[in-house]
Amino acid sequence: MNSPMSPARARLTRIFMLAGLLLAMARPAAAVVELDITRGTLKPVPIAITAFTGNTATEQKLGGDIAGVILSDLERSGLFAPVDRAAFIEKITDPGRTPRFADWRVINAQALVVGRVTREGNGRLKAEFRLWDVLAGTQLAGQQFFTRGKNWRRIGHIIADAVYQRLTGEKGYFDTRIVFVDETGAKDKRVKRLAIMDQDGHNIRMLTSGGALVLTPRFSPNSQEVTYMSYEGGRPRVYLLNIETLQKEIVGDFPNMTFSPRFSPDGHRVVMSLQQGGNANIYVMDLRTRRTSALTNTPAIDTGPSYAPDGRRIAFESDRSGTQQIYVMNANGSGQLRISRGDGRYSTPVWSPRGDLIAFTKKIGGRFLIGVMRPDGSGERILTEGYHNEGPTWAPNGRVLMFFRETPGAAGGPRLYTIDLTGYNERAVATPSFGSDPAWSPLIN
């Protein structure tokens, strides 16, 4: 007899059948061993960067030069170890074809950069590159760029940024510039000029003539303007300079000295110190309305203001407690709170572009240290120390700091250095003469 099932029973049967089917399909738990790998090494990634190919001799020369820029950028980051070109087995003739990975594995390369340069009409330059994972045998990135012929170094930096970002996950910082104070002449008669260069020290250009003392240049968020302090006209004032047109203007018309300026992250305001008798307080000026307002009002020296990347808070230094210490306040001046708690004097706070850290200069026992701490003052770490280190500035990805270090003696003077957050990768930055007060630009593009 075939009696019809009740709907409830039919549903139940279906559920059981489905469950049975799922059970039948499910594979037995295959993996037996499960391990947690909680430590790795900090070894730089071995990377092979081949000379970019080209059809003509000029293109090939340019291809070699561009590869040289990429190699030097990645090497200086400390995260990559370029493989010696003499060890290369495969000669790349067509960057469009898959390379012979075995040839690159043999020389212990883990990543491979290949590319091609083509000169197009109207002076344009086309550069394309591919980044290969040698061990996995896969392409990780591939892009092409166009630019004017004389910008070939920039193409190298942009490609280095792309490689850096793909392999580390964070944005690069190679396509950036540094504005700093170029110092020439004897120690007692120094000529200080505002200068700008690529982050690797190339393409240097003077922005001021050297007639007046200049200090503390800072980039605007769009990298087109620089704000700095100059003794031009005999009185120290904060200026704004367009780095393309070299037009400049005074920021605010204050009767007294203004110094230590810095842009807000949106570029609409400049925050700076204003001298008031023996004291100094922090003021903010809106660049559109030209209105200024005081953020601090204490019988002490409050200076060195630096915005958090979200523009909501400002870090600054003050000696209101008796010695220089770092404080944090809201962007309207409320909620002022001391965050530096260690021994010694703290100055020049600079908020990281990614917001997680504040860099500072610390003076203790006659030595100057560059360090970082969290915005609540915890986790203080010293990255480097020396006779005189000062003026840290962040790379746009918040991973590297540039600062200047002064050497003692009559022949001594300031030089620029970079150090990364690990504190291990310290490099000198090549400048034609002495250099101080560096400021790192945001990424140009």
Partner 1 sequence: MRKGLAISLSAHAAILFWAVAVFPSARDLDMAAQPIPVEVVTSAEVSQLKAGKKDAEKTRTAALQKRETPKPVKAKEKKKEPTKLKRVKAPAPAPKPRGPSEPAPKPVAETPEPKPEKKAKAAPPLPMPLRKPASAPKFTEALKPERKVAKAKKPVKKAFDPDRISALLDKRPDSGALQPAAPERKPLPPKPAQGLAQGRDAQMTLSEIDALRARISQCWSPPTGGLGADAIKVKLRLQLDSDGMLANRPQVVNRGGSPFFLAAADSAVRAVMLCQPYQLPATKYALWKDMILNFDPREMFGG
Taking CB under 8 A as the rule, does residue 356 contact partner 1? yes
**Shortest distance in whole angstroms from residue 420 CB to partner 1:** 7
**Shortest distance in whole angstroms from residue 171 CB to partner 1:** 8
Contact 388, 375 (CB under 8 A): no
b (16+ CB within 10 A) / e for 395-433: bbbbbbbbbbbbeeeeeebbbbbbbbbeeebbbebebee
Q: What tokens were used for 168?
A: 């580390």
Taking CB under 8 A as the rule, does residue 139 contact partner 1? no
Q: What tokens were used for 27?
A: 């594979």
Taking CB under 8 A as the rule, does residue 37 contact partner 1? yes
Of 40-48, 195-203, 271-279, 332-340, which segment contacts partner 1 by CB under 8 A? 40-48
Beta strands, E only, 265-380: 269-276, 279-286, 292-294, 302-307, 313-318, 325-330, 337-338, 345-351, 358-364, 367-373
| Amino acid making up residue 197 | M
Long-range CB contact pairs, 383-387, < 8 A, 24+: 383/419, 383/421, 383/423, 384/417, 384/419, 384/423, 384/426
Task: Report d(CA 226, CA 177) in Å as an integer.
Answer: 12
Query: What is the footprint of partner 1 within residues 383-412 (CB under 8 A)?
Result: 398-399
Taking CB under 8 A as the rule, does residue 136 contact partner 1? yes
Query: What is the footprint of partner 1 within residues 45-104 (CB under 8 A)?
Result: 45, 79
Taking CB under 8 A as the rule, does residue 305 contact partner 1? no
**Shortest distance in whole angstroms from residue 173 CB to partner 1:** 12
Task: Report d(CA 45, CA 78) in Å as an integer.
Answer: 9
Q: What are phi and psi of 428, to 5 degrees?
A: -80, 145
Taking CB under 8 A as the rule, does residue 378 contact partner 1? no
Q: Which is nearer to partner 1, 47 or 155 (CB)?
A: 47
Taking CB under 8 A as the rule, does residue 421 contact partner 1? yes
Taking CB under 8 A as the rule, does residue 423 contact partner 1? no
**Count of residues of this chain found to bind partner 1 when the rule CB under 8 A is applied:** 36
Q: Is 210 strand, coil or helix? A: coil
Taking CB under 8 A as the rule, does residue 26 contact partner 1? no
Candidate list 422, 428, 430, 432; residue touching partner 1; CB under 8 A: 422
Candidate list 26, 35, 410, 411; residue touching partner 1; CB under 8 A: 35
Q: What does the per-residue mask of binding to partner 1 show for 144-183, with x meaning CB under 8 A?
A: ---------------------xxxxxx-------------
**Shortest distance in whole angstroms from residue 351 CB to partner 1:** 13
Interface residues with partner 1 (CB under 8 A) are 30-45, 79, 110, 133, 135-136, 140, 165-170, 354-356, 398-399, 420-422
